[in-house]
């Protein structure tokens, strides 16, 4: 590992947060990243606030015990419903995915300003996320604080479709059937339904914010569907925005916190609360490279 740098804890209910880690790794040379997927209790996105807070706290405490000096809540649902509780309970800085996502969306919308005051009043961002994230209205609040109107759309079927690999970009599995195209067409049809409904409700949207860490895997398909619907909105990825915020915090506070060594690739360690084999198999799809060995941890759920 070379000179031991800062330890960053990253957690999600499952694999989705690996899209945040994927964006983060190139920006935090010398850091050690400990990732926890709370797969025994996933998904968080369809559960209640009380349950999500309880799960998020136990996941976060585990990472702090593993030496995390900064925590990334790489899960939109946990950020939406448990960020305040996590900040109150932990003694380390906690970064969620919603504020960075909202800021990136606001910047994208500002770039498209027309100068027409009436048009500007109506302009806004369309946010896609899980049921629990949408019901929390956390994105709407974060956007409103930045002067941006958000229209929120729950898309509960996208996570299972991504986890099953019913996506175009998926490399066909060995022995993959002729049904791969049919499978991808199901996802395309689901996206047409969700995006069609959302754009009818928010005709003035200028950007589309991916408010779930699973959705970056659907980005090409989402962009294709937007084009088909004649509404080629700019797509904003909370995962990218969050990684940039973490890197900025670390570079600003590096000295004070022990900092990044800036030397060598960031290293990773992976934990999951359910089957590590499944994590090893699915995780690589989200991380963009093999996750390697995953360790099983029991959080008592």
Binding residues vs a second copy (CB under 8 A): 39-41, 46-48, 51, 156-157, 160-161, 163-164, 166, 177, 179, 182-183, 185-186, 189-190, 192-193, 196-197, 273-275, 278, 300-301
Establish whether 75 is a catalytic residue: yes
| In the complex, minimum distance from the CB of residue 133 to a second copy, in angstroms, rounded to a whole number | 15
Question: How far, CA to CA in Å, does 223 sit from each of 20, 27, 228, 236, 292?
Answer: 20, 26, 9, 11, 31
| In the complex, minimum distance from the CB of residue 288 to a second copy, in angstroms, rounded to a whole number | 22
| In the complex, minimum distance from the CB of residue 100 to a second copy, in angstroms, rounded to a whole number | 28
- Any residues with CB less than 8 A from the CB of 30 and at least 6 apart, and which? 2, 3, 5, 6, 260, 261, 262, 263, 264, 266
| Residue in 75, 109, 143, 268 annotated catalytic | 75
Nearer to a second copy, 255 or 300 (CB): 300
| In the complex, minimum distance from the CB of residue 175 to a second copy, in angstroms, rounded to a whole number | 12
| Residue in 33, 155, 212, 268 annotated catalytic | 212
Backbone angles phi, psi at 124, to 5 degrees: -170, -170
- Please state, in angstroms and rounded to a whole number, the distance separating the CA atoms of residues 213 and 111: 25
The residues that are catalytic are 75, 212
């Amino acid at each position: 590992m070379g000179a031991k740098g800062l330890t960053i804890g990253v957690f999600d209910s499952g694999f989705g947060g690996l899209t945040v880690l994927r964006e983060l790794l190139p920006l935090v040379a010398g850091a050690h990243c400990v990732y926890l997927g709370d797969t025994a209790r996933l998904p968080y996105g369809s559960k209640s606030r009380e349950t999500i807070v309880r799960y998020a706290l136990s996941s976060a405490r585990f990472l702090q015990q593993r030496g995390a000096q900064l925590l990334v809540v790489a899960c939109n649902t946990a950020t939406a419903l448990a960020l305040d509780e996590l900040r109150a309970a932990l003694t380390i800085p906690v970064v969620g995915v919603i504020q960075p996502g909202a800021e990136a969306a606001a910047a994208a919308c500002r770039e498209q300003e027309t100068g027409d005051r009436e048009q500007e009043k109506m302009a806004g961002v369309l946010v896609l996320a899980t049921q629990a994230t949408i019901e929390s209205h956390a994105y709407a609040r974060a956007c409103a604080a930045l002067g941006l109107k958000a229209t929120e759309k729950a898309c509960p079927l996208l996570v299972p479709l991504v986890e099953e690999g019913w996506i175009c970009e998926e490399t066909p599995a060995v022995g993959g059937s002729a049904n791969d195209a049919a499978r991808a067409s199901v996802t395309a049809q689901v996206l047409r339904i969700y995006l069609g409904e959302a754009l009818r409700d928010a005709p003035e949207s200028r950007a589309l914010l991916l408010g779930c860490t699973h959705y970056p895997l659907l980005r090409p398909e989402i962009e294709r569907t937007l084009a088909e619907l004649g509404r080629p909105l700019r797509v904003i990825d909370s995962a990218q925005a969050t990684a940039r915020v973490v890197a900025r915090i670390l570079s600003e506070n590096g000295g004070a916190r022990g900092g990044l060594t800036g030397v060598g690739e960031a290293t990773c360690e992976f934990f999951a609360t359910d089957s590590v084999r499944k994590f090893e198999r699915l995780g690589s799809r989200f991380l963009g490279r093999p996750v390697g060995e995953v360790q099983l941890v029991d959080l008592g759920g």
